[in-house]
């Protein structure tokens, strides 16, 4: 029943296949897929240097980034604490993220990450 | 002996997940069902398909060549069900499904306040998805439950909206036109229902009403087209939520019907739930692995706070609990299974709620609470709903003049709550409800008339 509004403009800006957010068909006009695709911010993120040292994003960072940058309304419907709400399934390259270390998983280039809401109403 | 050690009650700690292996074939696992139940891709798909067919087969309810209608909304669960049925029919295997499916889609876009464009896209999606399976598709708007004067015959309308005919004659331009006329017709039907929903006091009542009306309309469509079974894609997680929210809404008497595999309250059409053994997580995994296209259905409480309706709050409760205790859903469902329906044939037709078809278990204890309310309503409503002639000449109420009290008395407790504190008029009630109540009242009067002639 939770639903995350994601602005339509985002999909126009970023168009490659790194993260898929299948939440809300309202936010996407071409409803052939529910994908909001991000590429640029991750590409940048993967090469960010903090304290002169390169580091890669982990899922925790990604979720907080999504919370701050993509969710416009009611982030509590997506995020709970550092992680996603119960009822949202996270798949990394079609594998359950529980198998890959959940929040500690470090993103690789071209990873396909799906957040699937299993709640009624999206 | 009664000592329960504390650690037994604590949620299982998050397992340290080195690459775990499938419990069946020892390949690298991809899917985690619960703590240590990991599956690889192919074992999971085999498990999922088997469970679906086993649920249908075990019940021994569906005979070969029986006409079965699939309630399809385009959402994840019903998309998975449609796919599984399609796959089960086309494969040449020993557990082949042998019934004749049709698909029904009820458009509730008017109540969810979708724009015309969104609705057209959605219908287009429904049509393309169903046409891939080759099953006949019935599309109807929820507004149909309030028939307008010209078209009381539901059957003739359904035939015209049988979209599969238009899809078979391909030609995209003409099919676009058809969607437009369909939407126009839907809009015409929906004027009434939108008004009625606006009058309902809160989103709990709205959700409840939406479920009831959708189910009714699907049953009507099934009956009109000779289908004897309807498959609903309710999965275990949904059923667990339904059990708890039903109880919270005073629908305890219908819980048993709402969770069994086959709901036989309606004699003509049986509702079956072949997906009831699945969790939403399993369904989502299956859809992804099979790359089945589906739409995230909006609901009345999408983007609303958690406490916006009882159903929503219950869902939140169940999913939160499920995260730490993976057997929550199963436990609730098994508990629900233990409730028995009892012998439905013995129930007096008068003791059945005409709105939700469940047995009325309320008695006088409740009436004290509602009497004062209804008496004041009688005066108000009889004036509102009839011209005063009392002979039905105003055509608002055919044959018998029903009073608000008579109607309320016929409903079960849960259904009364829908109309609670709400200034509704006779006009706002769906025709099937008025018809059913009239029938019950006529029977009752007849019974009273002949009572003294009856032998004990």
Give the pLDDT mean for B156-179: 43
- Higher pLDDT among residues B10 and B96, named by residue: B96
Residue numbers in chain A where pLDDT is lower than 50? 1-41, 46-53
Q: Which residues does chain B have within 8 Å of residue A100's beta carbon, measured at their own beta carbons? A: 17
What is the rounded average pLDDT of the residues B188-214? 84
Element (H, E) at A114: strand A113-117
Give the A window 3-22 contacts with B, CB below 8 Å. Answer: 3, 5, 22
pLDDT confidence of residue B27: 83
Cβ neighbour number for residue B61 with a 10 Å cutoff: 14
Percentage of residues in chain B having pLDDT higher than 90 = 16
- Contact state of A73 with B303 under an 8 Å Cβ cutoff: yes
Cross-chain Cβ contact B302/A91 below 8 Å: no
Whether B43 is in a domain gets the answer: no
Same domain, B291 and B411: no
Residue B285 has pLDDT above 50, yes or no: yes
Residue B335 domain flag: yes
Res. B385: pLDDT tops 60: no
Residues 6 or more apart whose CB falls under 8 angstroms from that of A80 comprise A86
If you average pLDDT over residues B176-198, what whole number do you get? 78
pLDDT digits (tens, 9 = 90+) for B42-89: 899 999 999 998 998 888 888 888 999 999 988 889 999 999 999 888
To the nearest 10°, the Cα dihedral for A32, A35, A40, A42? Answer: -160
Per the CB < 8 Å rule, is A99 touching B302?
A: no
Would B8 be classed as within a structural domain? Answer: no
Nearest CB to B303: which of A3, A34, A94? A3
Final residue belonging to a domain, choices B341, B374, B403: B341
Given the DSSP bridges, would you call strands A53-54 and A79-80 parallel, antiparallel or unpaired? unpaired
Give the angle subtended at the CA of B426 by the CAs of B436 and B142, to the nearest 5°.
70
Range of the domain at B275: 62-341
As a whole number of Å, the end-to-end CA separation of chain B is: 57
Mean pLDDT of the region B210-230: 90
Residues B262 and B167 in one domain: yes
Domain boundary among B341, B368, B383: B341
Query: Does B269 lie in the same domain as B154?
Result: yes
Are B334 and B391 part of one and the same domain? no
Instruction: Please indicate whether, in this complex, the C-beta atoms of B296 and A101 are within 8 angstroms of each other.
Output: no
Residue B362: its pLDDT value, please?
60
pLDDT at B391: 42
Mean pLDDT of B173-196: 72
Among residues B341, B373, B392, the one where a domain terminates is: B341
A96 near B CB under 8 A: yes
- Contact between chains at A121 and B302 (C-beta distance less than 8 A): yes
Domain count, chain B: 2
What fold does the segment set A8-111 form as a domain?
Answer: Ubiquitin-like (UB roll) (3.10.20)
Interval B297-320 mean pLDDT: 84
Shortest Cα distance from B107 to chain A (angstroms)? 15
Q: Is residue B50 a part of any domain in this protein?
A: no
Model pLDDT, residue B318: 93
Domain segments of chain A as ranges: 8-111
Judged against a pLDDT cut of 60, whether residue B149 lies above it is answered with: no
Model pLDDT for residues A100-119, shown as the tens digit of each residue = 888 888 777 666 777 777 88
Is the CB of residue A35 less than 8 Å away from at least one CB of chain B?
no
Helices (runs of H) and strands (runs of E) counted in chain B: 17, 8
> Do B366 and B423 have their domain in common?
yes
Asked whether residue B36 is assigned to any structural domain, the reply reads no
A94 with B41: Cβ contact below 8 A: yes
A115 interface with B at CB cutoff 8 Å: no
Highest mean pLDDT: which range of A70-74, A75-79, B99-103, B150-154: B99-103
CB-based contact B284 A89, cutoff 8 Å: yes
| C-alpha span between B74 and B298 (Å, rounded) | 11
Question: What pLDDT does residue A25 have?
Answer: 28
Count H helices and E strands in chain A, helices first. Answer: 3, 8
């Amino acid at each position: 029943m939770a639903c995350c509004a994601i602005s339509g403009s985002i999909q126009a800006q970023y168009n490659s296949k790194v993260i898929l957010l299948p939440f809300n068909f309202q936010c996407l006009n071409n409803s052939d897929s529910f994908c909001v695709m991000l590429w640029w911010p991750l590409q940048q993120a993967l090469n960010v240097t903090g304290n002169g040292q390169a580091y890669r994003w982990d899922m925790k960072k990604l979720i907080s980034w999504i919370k701050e940058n993509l969710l416009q309304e009611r982030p509590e419907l997506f995020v709970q604490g550092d992680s996603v709400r119960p009822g949202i399934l996270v798949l990394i390259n079609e594998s359950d993220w529980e198998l890959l270390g959940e929040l500690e998983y470090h993103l690789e280039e071209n990873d396909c990450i799906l957040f699937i809401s299993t709640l009624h109403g999206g | 002996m009664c000592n329960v050690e504390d650690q037994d009650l604590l949620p299982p700690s998050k397992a340290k997940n080195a690459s775990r292996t499938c419990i069946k074939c020892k390949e690298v696992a991809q899917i985690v069902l619960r703590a240590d139940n990991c599956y690889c891709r192919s074992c999971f798909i085999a498990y999922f398909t088997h469970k679906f067919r086993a649920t249908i087969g075990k019940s021994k309810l569906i005979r070969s060549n029986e006409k079965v209608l699939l309630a399809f909304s385009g959402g994840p669960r019903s998309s998975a069900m449609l796919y599984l049925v399609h796959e089960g029919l086309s494969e040449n295997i020993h557990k082949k499904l042998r019934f004749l499916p049709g698909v029904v889609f009820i458009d509730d876009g008017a109540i969810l306040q979708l724009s015309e464009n969104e609705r057209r896209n959605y219908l287009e999606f429904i049509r393309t998805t169903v046409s891939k399976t080759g099953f006949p598709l019935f599309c109807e708007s929820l507004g149909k439950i309030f028939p307008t004067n010209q078209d009381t015959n539901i059957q003739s309308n359904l035939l015209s909206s049988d979209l599969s005919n238009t899809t078979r004659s391909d030609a995209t331009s003409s099919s676009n036109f058809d969607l437009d006329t369909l939407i126009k017709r839907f809009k015409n039907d929906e004027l009434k229902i939108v008004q009625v929903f606006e009058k309902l006091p809160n989103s709990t009542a709205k959700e409840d009403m939406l479920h009831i009306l959708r189910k009714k309309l699907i049953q009507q469509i099934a009956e009109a087209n000779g289908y004897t079974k309807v498959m609903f894609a309710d999965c275990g997680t949904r059923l667990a939520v339904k059990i708890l929210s039903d109880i919270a809404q005073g629908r305890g008497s219908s819980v048993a019907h709402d969770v069994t595999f086959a709901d036989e309250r309606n004699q003509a059409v049986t509702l079956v739930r072949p997906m009831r053994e699945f969790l939403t997580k399993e369904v989502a995994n299956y859809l992804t692995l099979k790359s089945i296209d589906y739409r995230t259905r909006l609901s009345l409480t999408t983007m609303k706070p958690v406490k916006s309706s009882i159903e929503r709050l219950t869902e939140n409760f169940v999913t939160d609990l499920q995260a730490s205790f993976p057997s929550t859903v199963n436990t609730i469902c098994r508990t629900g299974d233990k409730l028995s329906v009892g012998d439905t044939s013995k129930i007096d037709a008068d003791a059945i709620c005409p709105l939700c078809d469940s047995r009325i278990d309320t008695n006088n204890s409740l009436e004290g609470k509602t009497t004062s309310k209804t008496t004041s309503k009688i005066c108000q409503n009889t004036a509102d709903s009839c011209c005063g002639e009392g002979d039905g000449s105003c055509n608002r109420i055919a044959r018998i003049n029903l009073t608000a009290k008579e109607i309320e008395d016929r409903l079960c407790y849960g259904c009364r709550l829908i109309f609670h504190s709400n200034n509704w008029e006779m006009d706002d009630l769906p025709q099937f409800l008025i018809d059913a109540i009239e029938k019950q009242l006529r029977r009752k009067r007849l019974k009273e008339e002949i009572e003294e002639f009856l032998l004990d």
